[in-house]
Structures are given as C-alpha cells and as structure tokens.
Structure 1
Amino acid sequence: MSDKTILTIGILAHVDAGKTSITESLLHHSGTTTSLGSVDKGSAITDGLTMEKNRGISIKASSVNFSWEHRLFQLVDTPGHIDFSAEVDRSLSILDGVILVVSAKEGVQAHTLNLWESLIERKLPVIIFFNKIDRAGVDVERVFLDFQKDLGVQLFALNYPDVSHPDNPKLLSFTNCAHHINSTILDTSMENLAECDETFLSQYLEGEISNLEQVLEKGKQNIKTRALYGSLFGSAKLGLGIEELLNSITTLIPQPKSYYSTAAAKVFKVTFDKKKGRLAYIKSYGSRLKSKDFIRSQQLDKDIKINQIFKPHLGGLVQSSELHKGEIGIITTSDSILPGDILGSEDLKDQYSKISEAVLGVEVIPKDVKDYQKLGEALEILNVEDPILDFKWFKEEKEFHLKILGPIQTEVLKENLIQRWAVEAEFHKPKVIYKETPSKSAQGYVRYWMPKPCWAIMTFLIEPAPLGSGVSFTSNVRTSDISNKYLNEVKRAIPWSLKQGIHGYEVTDISITLIAGTEHTVHSNPGDFLLATPMGLLKGLENAGTDLLEPMYAFEIKANKDLLGPISTDLNQMNAQIDTPMFENYFFIIAGRVSVAAAMDYAIKFNATTSGKGRLKLTLDGYKKTTTTDDKIRSYKGVSPLDESQWILHMRGAFKADDRSSS
C-alpha cells in the first residue's frame, strides 16, 4: 500500500451534461488510460453495461481509480437520470467530495436542483464544472449567474472562458485574467469573496486587486471552508479545463476525517456475476480487511466471512489480498448481504434524505408462461441489487409487483431481463401507490384460543392520527394481564400487520392503543400474540373504514414567459395548487403542488411544450386525502387476517400460500 492520500470523489450531473465524458478525460489526462474513451462510440470505461453503451447514459454507479499529484482518487461515476437516483443516494454515502457537472448550454436543470439539495444536506465539498463551453449559443455569464441565483450560493471562478471566438474557445487561468477583470464572471467572483473576507473587502473597495495570485489564494481559502463554491469552465470534448479540474480536486477537497481503529465498512452496491456470484462493493472506514477475515454484518446480525477481495481497475476487477482504510473494494461472501449494510460495530448509518422515493407500482408478467419461475428468480436478484424495487412475489396469485421511480427504469429492467436471463417480460402501466389511514375511531377485538394450546385475547383502539405522523402504539393493559414478553411480540407484529390495509395499501397516520387483553398461564405462547395482532388490527380497520392518501409533488417550473398561458392551462387541468408566478427577464417561475397521479406523465408533455428548453422540477411532498374509487382499490394479496380460519392455518404452517416475498 502506498502513502498516497485516498479521496473518494463522486461525479454528478443532470442527464447528458457530459459527466461520463469528463470521467474519461480525467482518466486519460492523468495517464491512467492510453486512449480517450467515448460515450458516443460505446467505449467509455465507466459505462460497462451493454445497455449503457447502447443508450449512451449511465445506469449503474461505477468506480475507477487514478492518481494525480501523490493522491489516489477513487472516482464514482453516477447515473444522471432521476429514475436511477437510488443508485446516486447509495453512492453519496461514501463520498469525500463531488464534481457537479452543469452543461453550459442548458444551465441548471431539474435534477441539478435535486442533487444540490442532497449535497448541501450532507455538507460535501463541491467543485462545479461548467461543461460544453464549445457548444453554439452558450452564454457563459448567464449560466454562471443563473447557477448562483437558482441555487442560492456564491461562486468563485477558478478560470475564465474566452468564447469571443465560438469556434475556438480558450481558457485563461485566474492569474492570467487581468484583461478580463471587469467581466461579469470575475467581478461577481470578487464581490462574493469580498462579502465573506473582511481583509479582502477593504482591498476590493480601494481597487487593490492587481495581485491575482493573492486574490486566488484567498478565494481558495474560502472555498475550503464552503463560504464560496469553486467553479471551472471547460469542455470535455476538447479536453479544456481537465487539468485545472484535476488540480482543483487535489488542492480544494480536504482529506477525509480520521478513520476507525477497528474494522468497519459500508456496502454501497451489490451485483451478481456469473462466475463470482454475489459481489458486494464496500468502502473501508477502519483497520485493514483481509480475505478469509470475519466481520459483523449489522443487517444480518451475525459474523460473515470475506471469501475474496477485489479492487476496481479500468472497468474490470483485480484480485487483492487486503483492503486498507479509505479504499473501495469488492468482496465475495456466501452470506446474503445487501446494499446499505454496515460491516463492523461502528455506526456508519446514512440518515440523510433520499433524492427520490418510489411512489409508482408495476406488475410484471412473463411473455411466455413457461418463464414464470425464471422471471421470479431474476427479479429477486434485481431486487437485491436495487432494494428500492421492493419486489413482492405473491405466489398464490402468481403475481410479481415492483416499485419504480419512473418509466425509463422499466425499460432498463426489460433489457436487463433479456440480456442477463433471456427472459422477455411485460410491464403493466405504472400505478400510483396510495396509503391508507383510518376514517374514524373504532375497536378491533381478537380472541385466538382454539385449537389449543394457544391463547391471545386483545382489544385494540384504532384512531386517526395527524397527516404525516406515521404509526404510534401504546399499551394500557397491565403487565399482570399481558406480560412484557408478549407485548414485545405485539409491537414486533404491528409494522408488517399494516403493510396491507382493507384497500390493499400500507396503513399510516394511525394511533393504536391496546386497551384490554389477557394471556393464559398454561396455554399462551409468544407466537400466539404475533399471530393474533394482525387479526385484531385489520378488524379494527374494517370497523373504522379507511381513507386513501395520495402522494403529492411539489413542482417548480421555469420557462419562457410566452408559454405561461399553455402551462397554466395544463396545471389547472391537473387541479394543481398554483402559487403566484414570478417574472425574470424573458422567463417566468411558478411553483405549487400537484398529485403524483395527475402529473405522472406531464414531463413528456412539458418537454414538448417548451421544446426541451423549460425546467420542470418535481419533488415528493407528502400525502393528502383523496377520494376512494373502485379503480384505486387493490385486492388483498395472500391470506388476509380477516379470514381468521385460513389465517390461523396459514400462520401455523398448514396453509401453503405465501403473502410475502419469497426472498
């Protein structure tokens, strides 16, 4: 192991901003590759999947290493399409810093805003790279100012783009920009520096800014403290700005915080390889890990054995005997570890907000009925690789159900199934996943005392709770009537008891109180209360009735003011709540709230209306009550606790139906 500092850098962007091209340029310029990989030609190292090569977009996060100025960089190239934002979330959890790529032509786009909110929440160091300055019609000053305004931050330009000759753009280092010192980009950078540096403020007011090396050094100091954000202009296509980017991430991204003295790692990705089996991508945060070591899996709550260790190398894997602190590696193990698992005893859990949540559900069916079993097994593997799919295999109904983020994701899943398993599948039209909440207060009584030995008698009070409050449980029963060991089984049963309510959706915003009950000194077993709790809760929900809650989007639209009329008409047709529009030069900005069901397909219409030049940002914004209609109601999957005799047989193992995923 060398003495190089190891930094894990993520490269993030809205789709088509050029981040994979920048990744290839960084690899080539650093001497890691001998030829420049191309997205268009399908030769990009970080786009290893056939689907990525065919589509020209990143679908899975990938890691490549390169060295620059005595530092080892582990560069994580992430997907740019919001349908794959779960992959970005998992990658963000292991980063030391970020390169945020913005197309100088399109400027700040919807997903740029989503990414920025996550970066700010995590307090990650960020370098902004304005790419594609060679594109016709680029307004470098406008994209610089718009970024500041739209994201509410202060930038400091580390170089200056001379696009006076569009066919031959040039870059000037900050210290060679004396002739452009009064330009909007540099003047704004100076103003921003003056606002956060009192010493420089007096120099700026007195016009003492001729020493650009000194100004640059002050700018870098404030970038390191995140008072300012460093920005660079360039073109990956022409190789412009790449060396400046390498130097900037080397000098402006601070060294990682201290690591742990014991073994500790985070699993941020899992894939399956035909020969190697389950591959878990991890980042080490502690002492050296070696093959054949045992380490605790917090998700599995047991020690697992590391069979082999690999390291990423130019799109492939090379075997290694050990993994050091700060390094990204890939381990094989016979245990079923999942993305998000923490290895070791340290608390490395990721508590930050997700970029996007899955609120759409699809049913998947095999085109050939003979592929039913094969399709189910393939979907189980895909669910391990991407747990946001929340795959459910309802064996009695022979149905497969997934949660998705958007339509592009279903197209990719289709291709994945064909390429990896030779299975053709059809995806039904996505449906909104509602939630349920009690309509009123009611009681649910359950008496499970036959056939003996068994005894669990309980009465639950079910009450509506405030919107967004989730699930609460209280017991008012004396421990002399039901002892704590049985109450613990009741608590354990509540979350999965509420996975399906009387309309087929997860129940939330509910207050549950156990108001009466008894155990039997001879006949009661812990399993009795585990079995009886869903029966009592579902009976209470049946007596109370439930209202449906529909997911809502908060939207923000920016488009040419000439389009305000048609866009307002669209929003009114979707029954959107609309705020007063604001006007800015040739554009209007309008925000509000709209249901996911109404806006599910609006992005396509919006892009057509604006010819792809508008910005539509949709962010999940909680739930609200909606009308309950037959087309929204789902049948209960599996054996319902309301069918008491069948439920008891099922839970006792005599009934073979399975209402949960087989995974």
Structure 2
Amino acid sequence: MHLLNLGILAHVDAGKTSLTERLLHSAGVIDEIGSVDAGSTRTDSLALERQRGITIKSAVVSFAVDDVTVNLIDTPGHPDFIAEVERVLGVLDGAVLVVSAVEGVQAQTRVLMRTLQRLKIPTLIFVNKIDRRGARYDGVLRALSERLTPAVVPMGRAVGLGTRKAVFVPDRVPLDVLAEHDDELLAAYVEGTLSQDRVRTALVARTREALVHPVFFGSAVTGAGVPELIAGIKELLPRAAGDPDGPVCGTVFKVERGPAGEKVAYARMFSGTLRTRDRVPFGDTRAGDAREEGRVTAVSVFDHGTDLREDAVPAGRIARLWGLADVRIGDAIGEPRTTHGHFFAPPTLETVVVPGPDTDRRALHLALGQLAEQDPLIGLRHDEVRQETSVSLYGEVQKEVIQATLAQEFGLAVGFRETTPLCIERPAGTGAAAEFIKKDANPFLASVGLRVDPTPPGTGVAFRLEVELGAMPYAFFKAVEDTVRETLAQGLNGWQVTDCTVTMTHCGYWPRQSHAHQGFDKSMSSTGADFRGLTPLVLTEALRKAGSQVHEPMHRFRIEAPADTLGALLPVLAALQAVPRTTETRGESCVLEGAVPAARVHALEQRLPGLTRGEGELESGFDHYAPVVRGDVPSRPRTDHNPLNRKEYLLNVTRRVGS
C-alpha cells in the first residue's frame, strides 16, 4: 500500500470543499455529494461551518486511488484562519491549489502559492467552475503565469466554457516549461528523438521536485476534469516517505476534544511505528520547553472515508491519538524533527472579550483556554486586576467565529471591544541597572545587574552572561533568564519587547544557612523567589534608561482597480494613513502597491467596492512593524505586578516595602 498526504488549498469560495466532496464521491467513499450551501458536506462538520458555508477547521478524510491511499486534508480558505493552514503544510506530501475559472487568481491564492513554493511542496493546480458563466481559459492561464508562477504546465483545454456541458479535454504536455529545467529533454527535442513517454517522465520528476505545476480545468459541481485530476494526483505527486522500523518521529497538527472532554491529537508520523500503550516523549522543541512523556491509550487511522481503531500507526500515516493529556499543536512526538518554523505572519490585531450579563467568567476563561488549545495563535492575555481577557486575531471574521463558537458549543454569550492593533516595543538605545543585596532598599536576598542592547529587527530576544556561570547555583541563573523573558512581555507601554539582547552583568547570593541545631533559615539564604522578585525591577529600570519605541504592524497592500477610479482612491488611502509606493497603469486598469497600518485594513476593505464600482481587488498581508509617529503613543494596561511602580510592585510581591 502506498500513502499520500494531500492538502486542498484555495482562496475562500473557489470551490475547495466542493472539490473535496467530488473527489470522495468519485472514489466511492460517499454515495451522494454534499452541498456547501445546504451545509451537508463531509469535511465541514462543525455547525458553524455549515451555517456560514466556509471551512474553519482543517478536516481529514481518506480515499483510495487504485493502490494509493490518500489522506486528504481540507483547509480553510479565509485569510482569518491562515493559522489552521499553516499547521497543515508541515505534514503534506503534496497539494492541490484550487483557483476559480471566473474570479481567477485572488489575494489568498497568491499567499498560498508563495508558501507552497517556499516549502517546495509539489503542487497541482485545479481551475474550478468552468461550467459557470464568466469562466475563462486563456485569461486564467495567463494570470496563473503572471501572478503565481511562470512554471505552469496546462494538461489540456476547457471546452464549452460557461455551460453545464463544459468539459476538460486532455492534450499533449507542452515542452517549453519542462525544457527550462531539463537540458537533456531540450537536446532530445532538437535531435528529433523526443517521445511523449520521455516528456511524461520529465513531467513527473519535475512536478515531484516542485519545479513545475501541472494545471487541470474542471468543475466540482458537474465532475468535469475530476477524473483527470485524480489520475494526476496518483501519477504526479510523491508518496509518503518514512521508515516504519526507524525511531518514532511525528508532528501534531491539530488538537480537539472528544465527547468526554479528553484531548485527541492529530499527528503525522514521519518515522517509526507508534503503538497503543507506548510511552513517548512529546513537546514543542522550537519553544525550548521541557519535553513531557505520556502513554498512548488508543490509536485510529483514516481509511476509506472513516477512521478505524488500530493497534499501531506506521511512518507515512496520519492518526488520531488518545492519552497525551498535555499535548499541544506543534508538538514533536518521539524524536524531534527539523521544522520550517512559522510560514505565515503572526496575528496583528487584538480585542477584549466582554462577558454577557449572565455569563460565568470562570466558565468563559476555561472555554477560551480550550479554543486556544485548538488554535495557539489565539493568544490569550488575562488581566487579573480588571478581570479581562484579550485575544489576538487575524481579522473581524475570526472574531465573529469565536463569538458564535462560545455561544453554540459552550452556551456563553460574549461581545467584544473595538479591535486594536497588536503593537510591539523595541529598545531605543542601551540601558543598564543593578541592585545588590542589602543595599539601596533592596528587600530581596539577591544581586542582579542587567544591560539591555537593541538588535536588528526580527532577531527576537537573546539572554547572555557577562558573569561566570559558576558564580552561583545554575537554578538562580535560570530564574533570572525565565523572569527576563516573562517581564519583556510587557514593556514601558505595555507591549511585548523584542529585538534586543539582555546581558546579566552582576550577580550575587547568600548561600544556604541555618542556625545551630535548626533547619534551613530562609531569612538568611537566597532562593529562586528572590531572583524572580528582583529581576523585573532591575530590567524595567534598564529599559527606562534605554528608552523604548512603540511600533505598529504594517500591511503591504496591492490594489487593482479601474484606472479612472484612481482620483477617488488616493484621498481615501491618505485618510487611512496608507502610503502608496508604486502606481502602474495597465490599459484601463491600474495597480497600486504600498503600506497601510494593520488597524486600517478592515476599513479599506469596506471602502474599496464603493470607490471602484465593485471592480477593485485588494490583496494585503503583514509586512513589517513601523514606529508610531502620529498621534498619541498607543499603550495597553499591564497585567503583572507593575514593576514600573516600585512601591506598588513591592506591596504586591513581598507585602512589605524596603526602607
């Protein structure tokens, strides 16, 4: 048996879930094709997905093509749920990118294709909806080549476009794109010895290397072109690799709760064989956390449209695992595996969840915690003082989905405050501070000195030592480093501080002491709590001296609109603080590219149709952080003990104030 883990990706409404239904029907998995509009599709199983007609969570379903078992993963198309797509990409052997024959290449199509190419995931393109009025062939092929990649290989032609009788007619594979990647192929053509078998062999090889992308046309509704696509999936995409006798190695890409509230982990196995009752280490090696160990109590694998309980899951397969109570999305199971890190930008928006009049706050906190398990990029930030919880977001649709999910699945009514940009802080210069045991009103039995230095954008946070590692117990150094990272979550203005190096310049402690004939005396001995208590005071003082600048998230944008609407567009862009960088006229249309604050993207989306007679197309995505130079510097309330106010901090932490 051969295995293939296949992702279906697309811009929202391109027909991705409908194509999944058609593939399952063609493979004999389902007897009747479900409808997205009717809410009867196999992979959109959530009530909210059926109501809205969009995919929110990735779903796995299996079907067979001759001797190949395909684990098909249907992913969300809306950009607000890009985090769900990101988790799937790391477990794929190949992908099908769905494009509408009517709308053509859309904003999210470009984002997905760039990522698939960067990760070198072999990808077929399926141009859907050839039966719809307005469907195009030449125009879409040209857009694929110009806006996605020139390495597209049309596998045939669409005939009868825009009618229910539209069909896909396979044709000879064109040579031009393939010859660019194969000198021997070109030489055989020149010598007149080239056969179609040789061309086909080259097509298979280059597709599996992700150098070229075969293009099929068809309709998920009528089934046109789908048999050819299925044949292409079997022939052109690579099989899952992995040694079932090797060390156990897998990746968790999805976590859900079972009927009894138990965690169920979806994992792709890359090596070895994981068996029921095996004890395995797991954890997110990228986060640097200590790994845990758990016992797998049950395993199920996907097969012919359902999942079956098995005793083991070998390399190459996707399985559902029970028993790993503390497992999280992104965890490596068994041997750690080299990963690509994050493929898409982090969320750039934030909002405060407002409980309804009769909503239990504790129940709400637990429910939000469960949602964060399923989507770690819903960054929860709980303010104990104000009894408020904030969540990070990609967009307004995601906020609506969170609200509906809390109502339907947990019976909790909530609202939200206005969405605000999720800013960061960067040190403006170098600053240093130190406090020593029994000096200058230091109530802690610890000496700590820290220096903060700025580093280039994108470098994150590093911790260094300028003191000897043997100068005090390692646990105290660890307490300082951990507390430094925790404290940097809230800078001088309340935002995450990044792109800096924090260096420990001074240290000191009192060794463990005791009175004669008595036990350990904490009042005479340093503990980790002393270092955890003192570090925030020293670090915030160093930050004060360094100064910090708040940076807001900026999105790059690309607007394609009728040229005669440019005069109406530019003033609105200026009012939204967008900065056009390039303007290009292409016949009767124009293309504007530039940068706009993330907080203004939603307003731009709403204004664009009215300004462009409904013909404008916006593509945007996170690009960089820029210093806030207009208006008041944004800040957000602190959720810690506020080391910026020494008296308040010491009252909260030690319940006493140094003299």
Length-normalised TM-score, structure 2: 0.90
Q: What is the CA distance between 1:258 and its match in structure 2?
A: 2.9
> Could you tell me which of 282, 290, 293 is aligned with 2:267?
282
**Residue 383 of structure 2: aligned partner:** 394
Q: In 1, Cα distance between the equivalents of 2:652 and 2:156?
A: 68
> Could you tell me which of 635, 638, 663 is aligned with 2:637?
635
C-alpha contact (below 8 Å) 1:453/1:524 kept by paired residues: no
Deviations 1:426-475 (A, max 9, x none): 01111111111234443333346599995212232334444444334443
**Residue 273 of structure 1: aligned partner:** 258
Q: In 2, Cα distance between the equivalents of 1:37 and 1:364?
A: 35
> Could you tell me which of 399, 408, 413 is aligned with 2:397?
408
Amino acid at match of 2:380: F
C-alpha contact (below 8 Å) 2:204/2:237 kept by paired residues: no
Kindly indicate whether residue 56 of structure 2 is the aligned counterpart of residue 59 of structure 1.
yes
Structure 1: gaps spanning 5 or more residues = 176-185, 656-663
Amino acid at match of 1:636: R
C-alpha contact (below 8 Å) 2:136/2:161 kept by paired residues: no
Query: Residue 159 and residue 349 in structure 1: after superposition, are their counterparts in 2 closer, same or farther (change >3 A)?
Result: same
Q: What is the CA distance between 1:276 and its match in structure 2?
A: 5.3
Kindly indicate whether residue 258 of structure 2 is the aligned counterpart of residue 264 of structure 1.
no
> Could you tell me which of 219, 229, 236 is aligned with 2:220?
236
For the residue of structure 2 that corresponds to 1:243, the secondary structure is helix
Query: Residue 78 and residue 390 in structure 1: after superposition, are their counterparts in 2 closer, same or farther (change >3 A)?
Result: same
**Residue 337 of structure 1: aligned partner:** 327
C-alpha contact (below 8 Å) 1:360/1:431 kept by paired residues: yes
**Residue 536 of structure 2: aligned partner:** 534
Q: What is the CA distance between 1:16 and its match in structure 2?
A: 0.2
Across the aligned residues of Structure 1 and Structure 2, the Cα RMSD in angstroms comes to 2.8
Query: Residue 598 and residue 67 in structure 1: after superposition, are their counterparts in 2 closer, same or farther (change >3 A)?
Result: same
Deviations 1:95-123 (A, max 9, x none): 00000000011111110111111101110
Deviations 1:56-80 (A, max 9, x none): 1100000000001210000000000
Q: What is the CA distance between 1:33 and its match in structure 2?
A: 1.1
Q: What is the CA distance between 1:516 and its match in structure 2?
A: 3.4
C-alpha contact (below 8 Å) 2:61/2:306 kept by paired residues: no
Q: What is the CA distance between 1:215 and its match in structure 2?
A: 4.6
For the residue of structure 1 that corresponds to 2:69, the secondary structure is strand
**Residue 550 of structure 1: aligned partner:** 552
Question: Identity across aligned pairs (percent)?
Answer: 29
Amino acid at match of 2:123: V
For the residue of structure 2 that corresponds to 1:378, the secondary structure is helix
Q: In 1, Cα distance between the equivalents of 2:413 and 2:633?
A: 28
Amino acid at match of 1:438: P
Q: How does 1:95-244 map to 2 (within 5 A)?
A: 95-163=92-160, 166-175=163-172, 189-198=174-183, 200-201=185-186, 215-244=199-228
Query: Residue 155 and residue 447 in structure 1: after superposition, are their counterparts in 2 closer, same or farther (change >3 A)?
Result: same
**Residue 88 of structure 1: aligned partner:** 85
Kindly indicate whether residue 486 of structure 2 is the aligned counterpart of residue 496 of structure 1.
yes
Kindly indicate whether residue 65 of structure 2 is the aligned counterpart of residue 68 of structure 1.
yes
Q: In 2, Cα distance between the equivalents of 1:12 and 1:548?
A: 36
Query: Residue 602 and residue 258 in structure 1: after superposition, are their counterparts in 2 closer, same or farther (change >3 A)?
Result: same
Q: What is the CA distance between 1:518 and its match in structure 2?
A: 2.9
Q: What is the CA distance between 1:578 and its match in structure 2?
A: 2.2
Deviations 1:271-295 (A, max 9, x none): 1133352111111223322222211
Query: Residue 357 and residue 287 in structure 1: after superposition, are their counterparts in 2 closer, same or farther (change >3 A)?
Result: same
C-alpha contact (below 8 Å) 2:384/2:639 kept by paired residues: no
Moved more, 26-35 or 540-549: 540-549
Kindly indicate whether residue 461 of structure 2 is the aligned counterpart of residue 455 of structure 1.
no
Query: Residue 265 and residue 195 in structure 1: after superposition, are their counterparts in 2 closer, same or farther (change >3 A)?
Result: closer
Q: How does 1:268-347 map to 2 (within 5 A)?
A: 268-275=253-260, 277-299=262-284, 301-312=291-302, 317-333=307-323, 335-344=325-334, 346-347=335-336
Deviations 1:291-333 (A, max 9, x none): 2221111346221011222334687654333222222111122
Query: Residue 473 and residue 304 in structure 1: after superposition, are their counterparts in 2 closer, same or farther (change >3 A)?
Result: closer
Query: Residue 128 and residue 540 in structure 1: after superposition, are their counterparts in 2 closer, same or farther (change >3 A)?
Result: same
Query: Residue 445 and residue 79 in structure 1: after superposition, are their counterparts in 2 closer, same or farther (change >3 A)?
Result: same
Amino acid at match of 1:114: V
Q: In 2, Cα distance between the equivalents of 1:154 and 1:586?
A: 28
Q: What is the CA distance between 1:366 and its match in structure 2?
A: 1.0
Amino acid at match of 1:355: F
Moved more, 516-525 or 424-433: 516-525
C-alpha contact (below 8 Å) 2:460/2:500 kept by paired residues: yes
Structure 2: gaps spanning 5 or more residues = 285-289, 513-524
Moved more, 450-459 or 8-17: 450-459
Q: In 2, Cα distance between the equivalents of 1:199 and 1:536?
A: 66
Kindly indicate whether residue 350 of structure 2 is the aligned counterpart of residue 361 of structure 1.
yes
**Residue 20 of structure 1: aligned partner:** 17
**Residue 660 of structure 1: aligned partner:** none
Q: In 1, Cα distance between the equivalents of 2:263 and 2:242?
A: 30
**Residue 29 of structure 2: aligned partner:** 32
Q: How does 1:601-640 map to 2 (within 5 A)?
A: 601-610=603-612, 613-627=615-629, 632-640=634-642
Amino acid at match of 1:378: A
Q: What is the CA distance between 1:619 and its match in structure 2?
A: 2.0
For the residue of structure 1 that corresponds to 2:28, the secondary structure is coil
Query: Residue 33 and residue 564 in structure 1: after superposition, are their counterparts in 2 closer, same or farther (change >3 A)?
Result: same
Q: In 1, Cα distance between the equivalents of 2:468 and 2:316?
A: 52
Q: In 2, Cα distance between the equivalents of 1:34 and 1:488?
A: 59
C-alpha contact (below 8 Å) 2:71/2:302 kept by paired residues: no
Deviations 1:24-63 (A, max 9, x none): 0000001111111211221100000011111111000000
Q: What is the CA distance between 1:204 and its match in structure 2?
A: 6.0
Deviations 1:357-388 (A, max 9, x none): 11111100111254211111111111111110
**Residue 461 of structure 2: aligned partner:** 471
Query: Residue 447 and residue 636 in structure 1: after superposition, are their counterparts in 2 closer, same or farther (change >3 A)?
Result: farther
Q: What is the CA distance between 1:237 and its match in structure 2?
A: 0.8
Q: In 2, Cα distance between the equivalents of 1:86 and 1:48?
A: 19
Q: What is the CA distance between 1:584 and its match in structure 2?
A: 3.1
Query: Residue 276 and residue 541 in structure 1: after superposition, are their counterparts in 2 closer, same or farther (change >3 A)?
Result: closer
Query: Residue 226 and residue 628 in structure 1: after superposition, are their counterparts in 2 closer, same or farther (change >3 A)?
Result: closer
Amino acid at match of 2:402: L
Amino acid at match of 2:153: F
Query: Residue 167 and residue 205 in structure 1: after superposition, are their counterparts in 2 closer, same or farther (change >3 A)?
Result: farther
Deviations 1:486-513 (A, max 9, x none): 3343222221110001211111233433
Deviations 1:591-637 (A, max 9, x none): 22222133343122224434554332212122121148557221211
C-alpha contact (below 8 Å) 1:118/1:353 kept by paired residues: no
> Could you tell me which of 235, 239, 250 is aligned with 1:251?
235
Amino acid at match of 1:486: F
C-alpha contact (below 8 Å) 2:329/2:373 kept by paired residues: yes
Query: Residue 514 and residue 638 in structure 1: after superposition, are their counterparts in 2 closer, same or farther (change >3 A)?
Result: closer
Q: What is the CA distance between 1:199 and its match in structure 2?
A: 5.1
C-alpha contact (below 8 Å) 2:241/2:270 kept by paired residues: no
**Residue 178 of structure 1: aligned partner:** none
Query: Residue 254 and residue 463 in structure 1: after superposition, are their counterparts in 2 closer, same or farther (change >3 A)?
Result: closer
**Residue 181 of structure 1: aligned partner:** none
